[in-house]
Amino acid sequence: MARKAVLSGGKRDEIIAAAAELFFEKGYEAVSVRMILDKVGGETGMFYHYFRSKEQLFDLAVERFFRDFSEKCREMISRCERPEDFIEVFLPLYAKGMQQFGMVRGSMHWSIQYAMHALTVESMVPAVAERLAAIRNGQTQEPGLPEGIPDDILAAQLVQGISATLHSESFEAMSPEEQKDCLRSYIRSVLKAE
């Protein structure tokens, strides 16, 4: 008899949440299936009822993290009226994402580290694009945006540029106020470019 697929909900979601917590706390290699099951009070058979492998569970935990992170970005960025507001929201969001990413990276190959960093940055783009669309449609106090550049491209340029800035040695050497000034200047230059 074929096994019935379990798509979401209940114990499956509890296992994914527990796995994500353990993966982010201890790293992928240090976490066993038994550790995850002990955390949720489950048995091995239950694990394999829901998942094919620890690798699949890791993929689902990462997917959930980025879905939740993207939603949090959307919620927080939706309240931004000016570039200054965006900086105040973006820096803590980005720092949190990088901190959680940093917890897992110790036991991961560099290619996976790179992919997770790219996903962190990429997960912010839709929220920024929505905010740019609101600005373009006159729903905020911020004046217009450059014409001819779609919001998703402009959002990607902003987020990728900010990410590159945050990872530069010069930026790290700046005081917190200088960092904010640097980001304000960058955002304004991108948004006002004609």
Q: Which spans in 137-175 are helix H?
A: 151-166, 169-173
Domain layout of the chain by residue ranges: 62-192
- For residue 45, the SS3 value is helix
Mean pLDDT within 45-62: 92
- Nearest by Cα to 84 from 129, 159, 142, 169: 142
* pLDDT surpasses 90 at 54: yes
pLDDT of 1: 41
pLDDT above 90 coverage of the chain, percent:
26
- Report DSSP letters for 99-122, one per residue: HHHHHHHTTS-HHHHHHHHHHHHH
Sort residue 10 into left (φ over 0), alpha (ψ -120 to 50) or beta: left
pLDDT of 92: 77
- Nearest by Cα to 158 from 119, 115, 122, 190: 190
Report the run of H or E that residue 17 belongs to, with start and end: helix 10-26
Going by pLDDT thresholds of 50, 70 and 90, the confidence category of residue 100 is: low
pLDDT of 109: 66
Q: How many CB atoms lie within 10 A of CB 148?
A: 7
Q: How many CB atoms lie within 10 A of CB 149?
A: 15
pLDDT of 192: 73
Q: Over the chain, what is the mean pLDDT?
A: 81
Q: Which residue has the higher pLDDT, 81 or 161?
A: 161
Give the tokens for residue 88. 């105040």
* pLDDT surpasses 50 at 5: no
